[in-house]
Chains A and B, each alone.
Chain A
Amino acid sequence: MHNPATLSLRSLIKRFGAVTATDDLSLKVAAGELHAIIGPNGAGKSTLIAQIAGELPSTSGDVLLDGQSVTALNAPARSLLGLARSFQITSLCNGFTARANVALAAQAHAGHSFRFWRSAANDSALLAAADAALAKVGLAARAETLAGALAHGEQRQLELAIALATRPRMLMLDEPMAGMSKEDSARMTDLLASLKKTCTILLVEHDMDAVFALADRVSVLVYGRCIATGTPSEIRESASVRQAYLGEDAEATT
């Protein structure tokens, strides 16, 4: 028996009219693996995340979580099964404190919320879970700050804390380092390295240093197609990848 994949995608397709954003994509992410997806802008990475999360219906294909098809389920149902995501463009409840943002995520996974009388702020179990997640991402000191008043880097950390508070078995991170300073990026890389032990991660990221430092395997996405999957060193050495992505990109940006 082989190790069952935590996440597997089977011939996933997404078309927007004539444009094929995800083109017959199949992928397996093994339990405990950190699988990175790289690709130039417009490769369809965020579309893919939205499809896996259940936010965007697929044109065809299947998404399986621990061998079970979740294709028919919507985003909240998939979240309840342990599939968490962060957003590429920070998406928080800006009028709530950082702690309330995280506590809500814990609340969503602690039974239904048809509770109308007792103050949510008195539920010590939720607050403890929220504080633990905030501490993990290094935001403990900012728990009382409104999410909308946090600095950009802190909001990215909060995104991650929210995802962690749902206690996911599969964590999808859509460019967690986007727009971060060098120091913040380095801190996030350390943080993700520490998370690797506890959950399976699908990481979409442009920061190549982070990807090659963290990933067990890397898939390269170009125009919705996966042109290569392999270990970081295999990807680094693959001629087709260099041509399609790394080489061009490296020359263009440096």
Chain B
Amino acid sequence: MNSVVTKMDRLGHRETVAIAVLFVALAAFPLVANWLDSPYLIRVATRILVFAIAAVSLDLILGFGGMVSFGHAAYVGVAAYVVAILSFHATNDPFTVWGISFTGTHSALIAWPAAILCSSLTALVVGAIALRTTGVYFIMITLAFAQMIYFLFMSLQQYGADEGLALAQRSDLAGLSLGNRATMYYVVLTALGLVLLVLYRLVRSKFGMVLRGCQQNERRMRAIGFKTYRYKLTAFVISGAIAGLSGVLLVNNEAFVSTADLHWLRSADLLIMVILGGAASLFGPLVGALLWVCLEFVLEGLTPHWHMILGPILILVVLYARRGVWGWLATERAGHA
């Protein structure tokens, strides 16, 4: 029996080719960078892939769930800080609260799940409140919470406040040396691939169908018996957890975290990556992250007024490529997804 749920649920020929080309190029990139004798580019590329993970996590709730979270950098930043703080206490004094002291850790097996858990819990609290509203109120509440978290870390003198916190030591991950550029790059690329695979399955699962149904017509979904709040909140927490994963990788790539990683401008960057690349496409935000960081990099070199060029480009994309660069590049026909 033919069981197509929507036209977009099967990868088209062009999209399959585009994904294959993209991943081959990404896998080969460190070799190219070394051949060009510019190994520092590997760190830049790693940073882009880290942002891509965060942008893909945002796409889950924005593109598939219709939830415009304007504070997504918070979940990235919280996890990054947790890793850095645990590492800080493993190197310096233990952390003491109410007379009990905790030593930190450099172990990825402990620090990373702890960091992702913290991001998930943050997303749970924010989502539980924000999802009681919709539209512009939802956007404002997610932004307000993100700003609260930003100012919280801004006030932590012990952890560098506005100067940021250097990572005392990169996480120990199964004997891998994350200080090695290429190793770090492939760890992040693997994580991105896994995230895309999981979300690719998820948006086509029963859960994903409910989420996408809510985006299209929540009233209808409630009328047929879905308690939509719990599904949307679950998606919000999953998104926060994946953003947390990106934060864990971010701090290990840069060996540094600062409040800039939590700032609303970073949240705006993530939104732009999703919209530029193409919402509800999963692979689009990856392309969006690539383009956005590269454009910034190139235009910054040309003129100090690079925002003047970047802005109009974004407007053109929104006006003429409603489904983003990915929709324009990788899908066969225009029209509905």
In the complex the two chains form, is B7's CB within 8 Å of A146's CB? yes
In the complex the two chains form, is A116's CB within 8 Å of B220's CB? no
Contacting residues, chain A, for B222 (C-beta < 8 A): 55, 74-76, 79
A109 to B223, CA, bound (A): 12
Q: Which residue of A lies closest to B207 (CB)?
A: A116
Contacting residues, chain A, for B204 (C-beta < 8 A): 119-121
Q: Which residue of B lies closest to A82 (CB)?
A: B225
Contact count band on B = 35 or more
Contacting residues, chain B, for A114 (C-beta < 8 A): 207, 234
In the complex the two chains form, is A162's CB within 8 Å of B224's CB? yes
Contacting residues, chain B, for A104 (C-beta < 8 A): 209-210, 213, 221, 224, 226
Q: Select B226's contact among A84, A97, A108, A162, beta carbons within 8 Å.
A: A108
A-B contact count (CB 8 A): 128
Contacting residues, chain A, for B223 (C-beta < 8 A): 53, 55, 75-76, 79, 84-85, 87, 91
Q: Select B210's contact among A75, A97, A113, A118, beta carbons within 8 Å.
A: A113
Q: How far is the CB of A63 from chain B (nearest CB, A)?
A: 15
Q: Which residue of B lies closest to A114 (CB)?
A: B207
A91 to B209, CA, bound (A): 17
Contacting residues, chain A, for B5 (C-beta < 8 A): 96-97, 99-100, 103, 120-121
Max count, chain B CB within 10 A of own CB: residue among A80, A114, A124: A114
Q: Which residue of B lies closest to A146 (CB)?
A: B336
* Interface residue tally for chain A (C-beta within 8 Å): 46
Q: How far is the CB of B66 from chain A (nearest CB, A)?
A: 11
A113 to B206, CA, bound (A): 6
Interface string of A97-134 (1 = CB under 8 A from B): 10110011101110001111111111110010000000
In the complex the two chains form, is B206's CB within 8 Å of A107's CB? yes
Q: Select B219's contact among A80, A91, A165, beta carbons within 8 Å.
A: A91
Q: How far is the CB of A3 from chain B (nearest CB, A)?
A: 27
4 smallest CB-CB distances across A and B, nearest first, come from A79-B225, A108-B225, A93-B216, A105-B224
Q: Can you list 19 pairs linking A and B with CB atoms under 8 Å apart?
A: A76-B225, A76-B226, A85-B223, A91-B217, A92-B220, A93-B216, A93-B217, A94-B217, A94-B336, A104-B226, A107-B210, A113-B226, A113-B231, A115-B205, A116-B202, A116-B208, A120-B209, A124-B1, A127-B1
